[in-house]
Amino acid sequence: MSRRSIAKKRIINADPIYKSKLISMLTSRILKDGKKGLAQKIIYQALEIIKEKTKDDPINILEKAIRNATPLVEVKARRIGGSTYQVPMEVRAYRGTNLALKWITKFAITRTGGNMSIKLANEIIDASNENGNTIRKREETHRMAEANKAFAHYRY
């Protein structure tokens, strides 16, 4: 992070097939070693699997999954007088979306069985149905914030 000035927000280009910014954000989360084409292929296969399994529009299911996985509050470490407090803070919309995408990809990777597109599809379907590891992570984040509500006055 720059100490001099605030970093500029990069403009996210929509993906070529679905014209969705969410999918291009998800592509950058799955991306490894600069292989963007492979990452896009994995995502498009996952969306096809979602379409087959749910008989519904995969973009709507992805949006619902991200909405369900987005946290409202999180804790940030704040050092005050030699001791560190976990201070609950509200999550801005952009950061919440990024956290949700990060959790979905992380738990899709750690899932067992099948290839990455199957695992990603199953994780997205689980998140849209409000179960699975991604939702558990969001609930855990909310519980942490609730437990540390006493330190909310240390917010900056």
- pLDDT tens for each residue of 90-116: 999 999 999 999 999 999 999 998 899
> Residue 2: which pLDDT band, with cuts at 50, 70 and 90?
low
What pTM value is reported for the model? 0.91
Q: Which structure tokens are listed for 33?
A: 């070693």
Reported as a single tens digit per residue, the pLDDT across 28-52 is: 999 999 999 999 999 999 999 999 9
Gap between the Cα atoms of 146 and 150, Å rounded: 9
Q: If pLDDT is split at 50, 70 and 90, which confidence band does 1 have? A: low
User: What CATH superfamily classification does 21-70+94-143 receive?
Assistant: Ribosomal protein S7/S5 (1.10.455.10)
Give the Cα separation of 42 and 117 in Å (integer). 5
Overall average pLDDT of the 11-18 stretch: 89
